Chain A
Amino acid sequence: MTDAFADLRDLYQEVILDHGRHPRNFRRLAPPARYAKGDNPMCGDRVEVWVRLDEGERIGDAAFEGRGCAISIASASLMTETVRGKSVKEACALADAFRILVRTGRCPVCGGVHAEDLERLRPLSGVAEYPSRVKCATLAWHALEAALTGEVGATSA
């Protein structure tokens, strides 16, 4: 299978297919977890994101539910894994770095504070070649930021 689909793997790497099929943290968190939803009006996709902050204002748990393409689901799934343990500020900074990653295909802060996280998220960088799909990858991240900063809804643009 690997050889027959080599030409499709640049975008749909195994980790994306895996997280798309078997999303992690696909569940809801009870209040007082912070919550926001993200809508992609172009395709009708929607994700809902929950974040629980621990003492010290660090992300103790992150979860999501939603419907969408493999890219948007895999991105949300990987996001819930990578933001755990981060402060609000760090998570927002990672979201910024992630958006640059998927828009440019390049890691904006290689060797920097988010190097390890961005390496995990790098399989999603293939969407940079597909401008119409960038918003699929960023949808959950917009919702995450909205949840962390207290907005209720986010639109992936």
Chain B
Amino acid sequence: MSQAARAVVQPGFDVFAIRRQFPILAECVRGKPLIYLDSAASAQKPRAVIEAMVQAMEHQYANVHRGLHWMSERTTEAFEAARDAVARFLNAPSRDEIVFTKNATEAINLVAHAYGRGVMDPAKAVLISAMEHHANIIPWQMLRDERGMELRICPITPEGELDWAAFENLLADGRVGLVAITHMSNVLGTVTPAERIARAAHEAGALVLFDGSQAAVHRRVDVQTIGADFYVFTGHKLYGPTGIGVLWARAELLERMPPFLGGGDMISSVSFERAEWARIPHKFEAGTPPILEGIGLAAAIAWVEQVGLEAIEEHERALTDFALARLSAIEGVRIFGRAQDRGGVVAFALDCAHAHDVATLLDRQGIAVRAGHHCAEPLMHVLGVGSTVRASFAAYTTRAEIEALAEAVERVRRFFA
């Protein structure tokens, strides 16, 4: 982190100082200053991330792990430093447990293929929840169709929390081999009780995978404290670049798992008859990895650590409380998800207008939100709604932006009433 970047973050969390580090936030959309409330889909990038990637491309770039020349060695160091940064970020016991993937979706698919195919059969089950993103549903459906195991769905309460009694019941027969569950719902904002889930899963003889795509952005994740077996997240929601995700898994599991993709960089020796796999984590990283993206992710993690995850969490909690209070006071607004422990996403519907119409009218006023099923179509069925509007918050979101959202929603309602 450069001295210049460090200097603009004030003690006590100055959101305006943070905003100045995001060049895109100075943009106008449809003639209005951008109000970006779609960070749960993808977060904007601070200058530190942009500059780290540009710096690499301009001054220090080559392929990694193979060159015997200066550029390759320096680039390898920078890329492998990203692995160290991620290991520290998750408090992983070892850097060798960090596997880089394309995104969180690929990380879950990796586990379904390399772990699930080896252990699942018709006598076993995978347990997910009713509030999963498609990324944590489809890979298990595909595995079920191939291996014949049962796919169990744990229901949620009307508040949008995991139905704990049902969860325990679904584990009770000991057939669940893997619990794969979100650490924070991308629709309801619900943060799931990760430690409790891991404990219950282990007591029932199951391993546990957390989809941390949302959670890792909003609060500190410690895979050892949680007691997780697998944890995945993606770079682009963490203020980093697209094209890089992370699978963390306990080394012992990674050692046992066969490779997911074959190719260069994942072997230790090759003949035309056979190959020997490289040691972990490289066994799972076939081909040229996301080098620039890794460098960008390392910069993003450094940026988040510098601002402070605890400070970000506190800031977002205040914003979320305000958003929930302000929006629910508007007549005709229905909010989905009232969990006690929740992060900075708020999904809602208007009585008089479809979510797409709301989103388009908000866009006309410079406000970016998401509308639709948010890649959680089964959850929409549970909620009994076709689609919702979702506003999501980040370190750079201000209270004034949420006020602007609320006023715009009121305006939309008058427009359609």
A→B interface (CB under 8 Å):
1, 4-5, 7-8, 11-12, 17, 20, 42-45, 67-71, 130, 133, 136
Contact = CB atoms under 8 A, between A and B. Distances in A.
Contacts of A17: 416
Main secondary structure, interface of B, reads helix
Contacts of A4: 411, 414
Given A5-B415, A67-B386, A11 B354 contact: no
Contact of A70 (B353, B371, B386, B387): B353
Nearest to A127: B360
A11 B360 contact: yes
Nearest to B32: A7
Given A42-B372, A43-B373, A7 B354 contact: no
A44 B415 contact: no
Interface residues on chain B, size class: 20 to 34
B372 A44 contact: yes
Contact of B354 (A1, A5, A42, A70): A70
Contacts of B411: 4-5
Interface in B331-378: 353-357, 360-361, 363-365, 371-373, 377
B357 A69 contact: yes
Nearest to A11: B360
With a 10 A CB-CB cut-off, give which of A42, A68, A70, A130 has the most chain B CB atoms.
A70
Contact of A8 (B355, B356, B361, B387): B361
Contacts of A7: 364-365
B357 A44 contact: no
Interface string B156-170: 000000000000000
B380 interface: yes
B356 A43 contact: yes
With a 10 A CB-CB cut-off, give which of B357, B371, B387 has the most chain A CB atoms.
B357
Nearest to A45: B386
A70 B357 contact: yes
Given A1-B414, A7-B364, A136 B356 contact: yes
A12 B354 contact: no
A111 B365 CA distance: 36
Contacts of A68: 354, 356
Contacts of B414: 1, 4
